[in-house]
Amino acid sequence: MHDGDTLRRFLFERFPVRGYVVHLDSAWRALVEHHDYPPAVRDALGEAVAATMLLAATLKFEGLLTLQLQGPGPMHLLVVQATHRMAVRGVARWRGTLPEAGASLAALSGGGQLTVTVENADRSNRYQGIVPLAGERLADCFEAYFARSEQLPTRLWLAATPERAAGLLLQRLPSGASASAEEVEHSAAAGDEDWNRVLTLAATLTGAELAGLAGTDLLHRLFHEEDLRLFEPGPVYFQCTCSRERVSGILRSLGAAEVHDILAERGSVEVRCEFCNRAWQYDAVDVAGLFADGGAVRGPRALQ
């Protein structure tokens, strides 16, 4: 069964552990299509995309989840955004000499921090969590994030190839969180034992298997002796949220003088979206329209 570009939830029937497995195929290729990423940066971005989808799946929100990695190293900025509908976009910036593919996150980012921001569409709620980029792997940083923000033991496995970005998340839920009486009665000690067994099984997963196997095959390979409930997979896809309105806001925030300078120099103004590479064009009439109302200044944004 083909299960590319999907995210699937699963539950262990006999103890309170849940999981998600995500595979991005065409969505991943579309996300990197217009970028010439060096392998180390591409792989880090792929892992970040998979991790963002897994994080989005575990959270209750209706809006936008933004993951941002910033550090002093060669890969100094990485941004991934996902909606609650599982649309994703992302971009990474790098400079100087990069380490080989497979290098540690620390070598790529040079430390720094991981910021997770959740914004509900109605702006009713905004949440931000920050953890240091201290671990060897991006998954380590996410585990630190979950430990801090959700206080639920969570483990992640991430993998990326030029063709695919993939991730597996396991999360131990509080005992009694599920409706099953069997689970409620489960003792803490037995809960520890179950959680550790699940982690031991999952630890045998290789990056090649994670990126290469279909979700169901992967879960069967790891947990075929466990009683697992699989839910129907849902789609994940690439979609950019750039719009003329947003680009116009960025140009207004630059100010009339600067935009008119660009217009005078080049004959038109072009703003290219970093995420999807779409070019937004403004001719002299468009520019005049931008500032016709006195050029109400909106907040500048580093990335549209």
Q: Residue 7 or 276: which CB sits closer to Zn ion?
A: 276
Min dist CB 38 to Zn ion, Å, is 22
Q: Residue 87 or 106: which CB sits closer to Zn ion?
A: 87
Contact status: 37 vs Zn ion (CB under 5 A): no
On whether the CB atoms of residues 274 and 304 are closer than 8 A, the answer is yes
Helix (H, G, I), strand (E, B) or coil at 296: coil
Contact status: 247 vs Zn ion (CB under 5 A): no
Q: Residue 222 or 247: which CB sits closer to Zn ion?
A: 247
Q: Residue 15 or 238: which CB sits closer to Zn ion?
A: 238
Contact status: 240 vs Zn ion (CB under 5 A): yes
- Give the pairing type, strands 154-160 and 6-12: unpaired
- Residue among 23, 14, 9, 19 at smallest CA distance from 153: 19
What is the distance, to the nearest Å, from the Cα of residue 55 to the centroid of all Cα atoms in its chain?
7
Question: By rule CB under 5 A, what string of x and - marks binding of each residue 166-205 to Zn ion?
Answer: ----------------------------------------
User: What is the Cα–Cα distance from 162 to 31, expressed in whole angstroms?
Assistant: 11
Q: Residue 227 or 270: which CB sits closer to Zn ion?
A: 270
Min dist CB 203 to Zn ion, Å, is 38
Cα pseudo-dihedral 223, 228, 234, 236, rounded to 10: -30
Name residues contacting Zn ion, limited to 49-78 (CB under 5 A).
Answer: none
Using CB under 5 A, pick the residue from 17, 108, 242, 271 that binds Zn ion: 242
Alpha-carbon separation of residue 117 from 7, 30, 69, 122, 198 (angstroms): 21, 24, 12, 15, 30
Which span (5-13, 14-22, 44-52, 241-249) binds Zn ion, by CB under 5 A? 241-249
- Residue among 124, 141, 123 at smallest CA distance from 132: 141
Alpha-carbon separation of residue 185 from 18, 135, 182, 228, 231 (angstroms): 18, 36, 5, 19, 24
User: What is the Cα–Cα distance from 62 to 85, expressed in whole angstroms?
Assistant: 8
- Contacts with Zn ion: how many residues (CB under 5 A)? 6
Min dist CB 193 to Zn ion, Å, is 48
Q: Residue 239 or 253: which CB sits closer to Zn ion?
A: 239
Q: Which two tokens stand for residue 58?
A: 């575990």
Name residues contacting Zn ion, limited to 259-298 (CB under 5 A).
Answer: 273, 275-276, 278
Residue ranges binding Zn ion (CB under 5 A):
240, 242, 273, 275-276, 278
